[in-house]
Amino acid sequence: MTFAFDLATAVTDNGNGVYSGAVHDGWDIRGNANGGYVMALLAQAMRSAANRPDPISITLHYLAPLPPGDFEIHTQVIKQGRRFTTVSASMMFGGREAVRAIGAFSEAPAVDGAMRHNETPLSDLPSFEECMRRTETGEAVPLALMSKLDMRLHPDDRGFAIGKPSGVPRIRGWFAFADNRPNDTLSVLLAADAFPPPVFNLLAVPGWVPTVEFTVHMRAVPAPGPLRCEFNTKEIQGGMFEEDGIIWDENGVLVAQSRQIGLIPL
């Protein structure tokens, strides 16, 4: 079976570090491609250039919105080390640079067999079946992306969706694909930006939240099942906020940490 996410993140190697592909319709919010989906597109080309499978650390700066359409990704291997390969990339869309990225690629480290110290408590979340699924048309803003996913929100954190924001800038939930695609390190990048921003639970009317910069640190290869996710915002100032995320797999293994800087919707 060919899964929708794999089709939507496919790129073609044109040689000399240049890759081509298309931003697919349906992976967007209000017509603009989701930032995690865009990160997965860049990572697909960058890991090919690095000849290493996993984005251990990847950072994107978003320079322009991305509607559906064709693109080119220009990559450059900055350093080829014994353990990590560092790659930079630029996504060209419509004759201009839309995204700039840099990342370190390797094989995601094994959880066992090395020093381990975890202080972040596992997110308090009801089971996957007990959490309500987000739908494409179930909220004030149409969400094309939700037709591709099976995302479940904690009942206490979905007040924004029914006009009753909780007042706590936190979002917890489960991430899975609607077509049952197993999760891996590429899909974790999408999961890190697929949830509603925590600031929605402080806003009377949620709107599009542009991302300025987005970083994901990969800590392990996830088990194939749903991902347990939590996102929090602590500081809002000058029209901007930070969003810190932590992602575990279904076995409670820490998979990734993320941070992004976004703009409060006007």
The pLDDT tens digits of the residues spanning 184-204 come to 999 999 999 999 999 999 986
- Of the candidates 47, 55, 28, the residue with the CA atom closest to the CA atom of residue 256: 55
C-alpha span between 107 and 97 (Å, rounded): 29
**pLDDT band at 139, cuts 50/70/90?**
low
Q: How many CA atoms lie within 13 A of 13 on its CB side?
A: 11
**pLDDT band at 117, cuts 50/70/90?**
confident
Q: What is the mean pLDDT of the chain?
A: 93
pLDDT tens digits, one per residue of 67-84: 999 999 999 999 999 999
Residue 77: Cβ within 10 Å count: 15
Q: Which residues pair with 113 in a beta bridge?
A: none
- Residues whose CB falls within 8 Å of the CB of residue 232, separated by 6 or more in sequence, listed in order: 169, 170, 198, 243, 244, 245
Contact criterion met (CB below 8 Å) for 55 and 2: no
Best-predicted range by mean pLDDT (82-86, 144-148, 261-265): 82-86
Residue 237: Cβ within 10 Å count: 8
Please give the pLDDT value at position 113.
67
**pLDDT band at 111, cuts 50/70/90?**
confident
> H/E/C letters for each residue in the chain?
CCCHHHHHCCEEECCCCEEEEEECCCCEECCEECHHHHHHHHHHHHHHHHCCCEEEEEEEEECCCCCCEEEEEEEEEEEECCCCEEEEEEEEECCEEEEEEEEEEECCCCCCCCCCCCCCCCCCCCCHHHCEECCCCCCCCCCHHHHCECCEECHHHCHHHHCCCCCCCEEEEEECECCCCCCCHHHHHHHHHHCCCHHHHHCCCCCCCCEEEEEEEECCCCCCCCEEEEEECCCEECCEEEEEEEEECCCCCEEEEEEEEEECCC
> In order of start, what are the domains of the chain with their CATH numbers?
12-107 (3.10.129.10), 125-266 (2.40.160.210)
- Residues whose CB falls within 8 Å of the CB of residue 22, separated by 6 or more in sequence, listed in order: 68, 69, 70, 71
Answer with the residue of higher pLDDT: 120 or 180. Answer: 180
**pLDDT band at 208, cuts 50/70/90?**
confident
pLDDT tens digits, one per residue of 16-53: 999 999 999 999 988 889 999 999 999 999 999 999 99
- Of the candidates 20, 23, 34, 17, the residue with the CA atom closest to the CA atom of residue 144: 34
pTM of the model: 0.95
**pLDDT band at 206, cuts 50/70/90?**
low
